[in-house]
C-alpha cells in the first residue's frame, strides 16, 4: 500500500500534514458543538466537497458529537474521518427511533465511506397475480408494488421465481401474457398447446372457471398447499370414477407440478409461517450476512451479503447496521430470527414495527425448532465467507503476478479496461469495466456514447484511435476535476486497452496532454489469426511486445478482463442501436408528445404516411389542432 501512495501522489498538489488536518477537523467539531442541541437526531460529517463521510444517529446529539473532539480516545479509522471533516450537518428528530429510521435512509442514499455499507441492495423478485383484469395474469415483479393485485414473496433469486411460475402455470393453467397480447389474440398460443394456459383469451374457459383456478393459486401461494392438493386429488378421483381418464391424467400432472414447487424448498420448519432468518459470520476482518426467506410456511431461498466495513467492527455492530439498511426499502416480516443480539436491539425492533405498521419480533433462539434454521443460515454464512476469501486470495495472487510481469511497484488495486464497439462508425460506444481486489466492480462500469469531440474532426465514430482518445479524455478530465487529490479511490493503478500499439499510442497521447504520468498503461492485442493464447502485451517503455505462455494464469486473467470489456461494449452498442431503430421522426417535432404521436400513428399507420399527409388530413386527427398540424407539415416540407 505504501508504494501505491507514493506512486499516485506524484501528480497531486502538496497536501496538508495529517496532524494539522486532524487538528483542523477537531476544531470544526468543537465550533459546531456550541450550537448543537441535546435532543435526538442524525448528524453528518462532510468533507471539503460536501460529500458525506459518515452518518450517525444519537439520543443526545451534543454528547455524541463531542466524542469526536477527543482524538486520543478515537481509533485510527475515526481519526482519519475527523481529519477529513470540514463541516457538520444535523437534523433533529422527536425520538431516537425516528433518528434510526432517518439514519438508515441517509446511509442508503449517500453511501458514506466510513459507515458499514450494504453493498448489494437490489430489489427482490415477487410473484404477482394481477387484480385489475377479468382474467388475472401471473407474472414476475420487481420494484414498487403499484399495480393492483396480490404479491407473493420475496424470493431470493429470479430463478426461484421462474421455476415457481412455470410450475404454477402447469398446475393452474393461468396466463402469463401481457394484457395487450391477451386482447390481440385470435387463436391459442403455444402456452395452451403445451398445457400451461387455459386460453381465456379466445374463450376456451369461462370467467367463473378461470376465477376458481386463480383462487386455488392464491391458496397455494398463501400457504394452504395441503388443502389445494387434497381438492385436486378429489377431482382426479372423481374423474377416474367417471371413466374420464384423460381428465384424471391432466389433474395428476397438475398435482405433480405442485409437488415440484415443494421439492425445491431446501429446509422447512413447522410453525415458521412468515419470517426472515439472519446470521452473521466474521473472519479476517470481513463479514458475511446470510438471509433466508420463509413465506407461507415455505423456504423462498437465501442470499449472502458481504457488507463493507472497518476491519475492527464487531459483529453485533455490523448486524445492527445491516438490519437497518436491509429493511429501509422493503417491509420486514412478522418475525426476524437472529443468531445474536444486534446493537440497540430494542430500538431496532421499534423502528421495524413503525416501518411495517404492525408488530415485528426480533428473536434470538437458543434451542428448539427455531434454532435449526438459524444454525443453517450461520453454516451457510461461514461457507460463503470461506469461498469468498479463498477466491480473494487467488485473485490477489493474480494481481501480484500481473504486477511482477509488468514491473509495477505494487499489485494494482483498481484496473480499468477500455474497449469500443461500432458498425462502420455508426452508434459508436466506448465501454469501461473495473476490476479490483474483490473482482469485477460492476457498479463502476461506464459507457461513453462517442461524440467526435477531437478538434479538427467531424466524427470520431469510424476511427478507433480517435474513439479511444475521446473516451480516455472524457474519463480522466472528469477524474481530475472531481478527485484531484485521489482520495476517493476512483483513480486506477492500471489502464488496460483492448488493441495494439496504435491504441496504446492514443492512450499515451491523452495522458501526456492531461499531465498524467503515474498510471500504468497496457495494451493487449490478439495474436496471429486472432488466436486466443497468443496475445501480445504492449507497454509504453518496451519496444518489443511481451509474449506469455498460453497456460500462464496472468494471461488468462487479462483475457477475462478483455473479454468482459468487449462484452460490455458490444452490449452498450446494441442497446444504442436498438434505441435508434425504435426512434421515430415524430420524436423530433416540437409539441409532439407520446399521446399525439400515438394518435398520429394510429390514424396514419406509420411515420412515413404522416410525412406524406396534407394539412387537412393532419388536422383531422384527434388532438391535433390546426397550429400543431402546421408544425408537423412544416417539419416534413421545409424545402417547399
Domain assignments of the chain as residue spans, ordered by start: 2-100, 126-263, 275-295+303-386, 412-580, 585-636
Per-residue buried b or exposed e for 404-438, using 16+ beta carbons within 10 Å of the residue's own CB: ebbebebbbbbbbbbbbbbeeeebbbbbbbbbbeb
Q: Do domains 275-295+303-386 and 412-580 have the same CATH topology?
A: yes
Segment 96-111 mean pLDDT: 90
pLDDT digits (tens, 9 = 90+) for 469-478: 999 999 999 8
**5: how many CB neighbours lie within 10 A of its CB?**
10
Average pLDDT over residues 597-614: 80
For residue 485, count other CB atoms closer than 10 A to its CB: 13
In CATH terms, 412-580 corresponds, of 3.40.350.10, 3.40.980.10, 3.30.420.340, 3.40.50.620, to 3.30.420.340
Fold of domain 2-100: GIY-YIG endonuclease (3.40.1440)
CB atoms within 10 A of CB 138: 22
For residue 521, what pLDDT band results from cuts at 50, 70 and 90? very high
Neighbours of 536 (CB within 10 A): 17
Choice among 76-90, 188-202, 244-258 with the minimum mean pLDDT:
244-258
* Alpha carbons 570 and 449: distance in angstroms, whole number: 12
For residue 459, the model assigns a pLDDT of 42
Phi, psi at 542, each rounded to 5° = -125, 130
The span from the first CA to the last CA of the chain, in angstroms, equals: 69
What is the residue whose three cell numbers read 419470517? Answer: 275
- 32/64 Cα distance (integer angstroms): 12
Average pLDDT, the chain: 83
Q: How confident is the model at residue 72 (pLDDT cuts 50, 70, 90)?
A: confident
Closest by CA position to 352, among listed 57, 101, 92, 99: 101
pLDDT at 263 over 70: no
Closest-CA residue to 538 (of 494, 572, 505): 505
**Rounded Cα distance, 329 and 98, in Å:** 16
Q: Bigger pLDDT: 271 or 80?
A: 80
pLDDT greater at residue 427 or residue 552: 552
List Cβ neighbours of 338 (8 Å cut-off, separation of 6 or more).
278, 279, 319, 362, 363, 364, 374
| Model confidence band, residue 225 (pLDDT cutoffs 50, 70, 90) | low
- Which grid cell sits at 167? 410450475
Which range (373-377, 420-424, 443-447, 600-604) has the least confidence?
Answer: 420-424
pLDDT of residue 5: 34
Question: Mind listing the pLDDT tens digit for each residue in 392-435?
Answer: 778 888 888 899 888 888 889 899 999 888 666 567 888 999 99
Q: Identify the pLDDT of residue 247.
A: 73
Task: Supply the DSSP symbol for 394.
Answer: H
Strand-pairing partners, residue 522, are: 496
User: Given a cut of 90, is residue 318 above it in pLDDT?
Assistant: yes
Q: What is the pLDDT of residue 592?
A: 82
What is the pTM assigned to this prediction?
0.65
CATH topology (fold) of 275-295+303-386: Nucleotidyltransferase; domain 5 (3.30.420)
pLDDT category of residue 590 using cuts at 50, 70 and 90 = confident
Residue 317: pLDDT over 60: yes
Q: What's the confidence (pLDDT) of residue 531?
A: 59
pLDDT at 494 over 90: yes
Q: Supply the pLDDT for residue 321.
A: 93
Q: 393 with 538: CB under 8 angstroms?
A: no
Task: Specify the residue for cell string 400451461.
Answer: 196
- Comparing C-alpha atoms, which of 224, 215, 191, 39 is closest to residue 136? 215
φ, ψ dihedrals at 58, nearest 5°: -150, 145
pLDDT given for residue 289 in this prediction = 94
585-636 homologous superfamily: 5' to 3' exonuclease, C-terminal subdomain (1.10.150.20)
Residue 19 above 70 pLDDT? no
Does position 242 have pLDDT exceeding 90, yes or no? no
Q: Tell which residue, 96, 104, 22, has the closest CA to residue 63.
A: 96
Q: What is the pLDDT of residues 143-181, one digit of tens each?
A: 888 889 999 888 877 877 888 888 888 888 899 888 888
How many other C-beta atoms are found inside a 10 Å radius of the C-beta of residue 66?
Answer: 14
Amino acid at each position: 500500500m505504501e508504494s501505491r501512495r507514493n506512486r499516485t501522489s506524484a501528480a497531486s498538489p502538496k497536501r496538508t500534514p495529517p496532524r494539522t488536518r486532524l487538528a483542523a477537523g477537531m476544531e470544526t467539531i468543537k465550533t459546531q458543538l456550541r450550537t448543537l442541541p441535546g435532543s435526538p437526531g442524525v448528524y453528518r460529517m462532510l468533507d471539503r466537497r460536501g460529500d458525506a463521510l459518515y452518518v450517525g444517529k444519537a439520543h443526545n446529539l451534543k454528547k455524541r458529537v463531542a466524542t469526536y473532539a477527543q482524538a486520543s480516545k478515537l481509533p485510527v479509522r475515526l481519526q482519519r474521518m475527523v481529519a477529513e471533516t470540514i463541516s457538520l450537518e444535523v437534523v433533529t428528530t422527536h425520538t431516537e427511533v425516528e433518528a434510526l429510521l432517518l439514519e438508515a435512509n441517509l446511509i442508503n442514499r449517500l453511501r458514506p465511506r466510513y459507515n458499514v455499507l450494504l453493498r448489494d441492495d437490489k430489489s427482490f423478485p415477487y410473484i404477482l397475480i394481477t387484480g385489475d383484469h377479468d382474467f388475472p395474469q401471473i407474472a414476475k415483479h420487481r420494484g414498487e408494488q403499484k399495480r393492483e393485485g396480490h404479491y407473493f414473496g420475496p424470493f431470493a433469486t429470479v430463478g426461484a421465481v421462474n421455476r415457481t411460475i412455470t410450475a404454477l402455470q402447469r398446475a393452474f393453467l393461468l396466463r402469463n401474457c401481457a394484457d395487450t397480447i391477451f386482447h390481440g389474440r385470435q387463436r391459442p398460443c403455444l402456452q395452451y398447446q403445451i398445457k400451461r394456459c387455459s386460453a381465456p383469451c379466445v374463450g376456451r374457459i369461462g370467467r367463473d372457471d378461470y376465477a376458481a383456478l386463480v383462487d386455488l393459486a392464491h391458496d397455494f401461494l398463501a400457504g394452504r398447499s395441503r388443502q389445494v392438493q387434497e381438492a385436486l386429488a378429489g377431482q382426479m378421483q372423481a374423474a377416474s370414477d367417471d371413466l374420464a381418464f384423460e381428465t384424471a391424467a391432466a389433474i395428476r400432472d397438475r398435482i405433480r407440478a405442485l409437488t415440484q414447487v415443494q421439492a425445491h424448498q431446501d429446509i422447512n420448519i413447522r410453525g415458521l409461517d412468515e419470517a426472515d432468518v439472519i446470521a452473521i459470520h466474521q473472519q479476517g476482518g470481513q463479514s458475511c450476512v446470510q438471509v433466508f426467506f420463509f413465506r407461507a410456511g415455505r423456504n423462498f431461498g437465501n442470499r449472502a451479503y458481504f457488507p463493507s466495513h472497518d476491519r475492527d467492527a464487531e459483529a453485533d455492530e455490523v448486524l445492527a447496521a445491516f438490519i437497518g439498511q436491509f429493511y429501509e426499502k422493503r417491509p420486514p416480516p412478522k418475525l426476524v430470527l437472529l443468531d445474536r443480539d444486534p446493537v440497540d436491539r430494542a430500538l431496532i425492533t421499534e423502528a421495524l414495527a413503525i416501518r411495517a405498521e404492525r408488530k415485528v419480533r426480533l428473536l434470538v433462539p437458543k434451542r428448539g425448532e427455531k434454532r435449526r434454521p438459524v444454525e443453517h443460515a450461520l453454516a451457510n454464512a461461514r461457507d460463503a465467507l470461506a469461498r469468498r476469501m479463498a477466491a480473494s486470495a487467488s485473485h490477489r495472487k493474480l494481481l501480484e503476478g500481473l504486477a511482477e510481469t509488468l514491473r509495477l511497484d505494487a499489485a494494482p488495486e483498481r484496473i480499468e479496461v477500455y474497449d469500443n464497439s461500432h458498425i462502420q462508425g455508426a452508434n459508436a460506444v466506448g465501454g469501461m469495466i473495473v476490476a479490483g481486489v474483490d473482482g469485477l466492480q460492476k457498479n463502476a462500469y461506464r459507457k461513453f456514447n462517442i461524440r467526435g469531440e477531437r478538434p479538427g474532426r467531424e466524427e470520431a465514430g469510424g476511427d478507433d484511435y480517435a474513439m479511444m482518445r475521446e473516451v480516455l479524455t472524457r474519463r480522466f478530465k472528469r477524474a481530475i476535476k472531481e478527485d484531484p487529490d485521489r482520495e476517493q479511490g476512483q483513480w486506477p493503478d492500471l489502464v488496460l486497452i483492448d488493441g495494439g500499439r496504435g491504441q496504446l499510442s492514443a492512450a499515451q497521447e491523452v495522458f501526456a496532454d492531461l499531465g498524467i504520468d503515474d498510471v500504468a498503461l497496457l495494451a493487449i492485442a490478439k495474436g496471429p489469426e486472432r488466436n486466443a493464447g497468443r496475445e501480445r502485451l504492449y507497454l509504453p517503455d518496451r519496444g518489443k511486445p511481451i509474449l506469455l505462455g498460453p497456460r500462464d494464469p496472468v494471461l488468462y486473467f487479462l483475457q477475462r478482463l478483455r473479454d468482459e470489456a468487449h462484452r460490455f461494449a458490444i452490449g452498450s452498442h446494441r442497446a444504442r442501436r436498438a434505441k435508434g431503430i425504435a426512434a421515430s421522426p415524430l420524436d423530433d417535432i416540437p409539441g409532439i408528445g407520446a399521446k399525439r404521436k400515438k394518435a398520429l400513428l394510429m390514424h396514419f399507420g406509420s411515420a412515413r404516411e404522416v410525412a406524406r399527409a396534407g394539412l387537412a388530413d393532419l388536422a383531422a386527427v384527434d388532438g391535433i389542432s390546426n397550429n400543431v398540424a402546421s408544425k408537423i407539415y412544416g417539419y416534413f416540407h421545409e424545402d417547399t
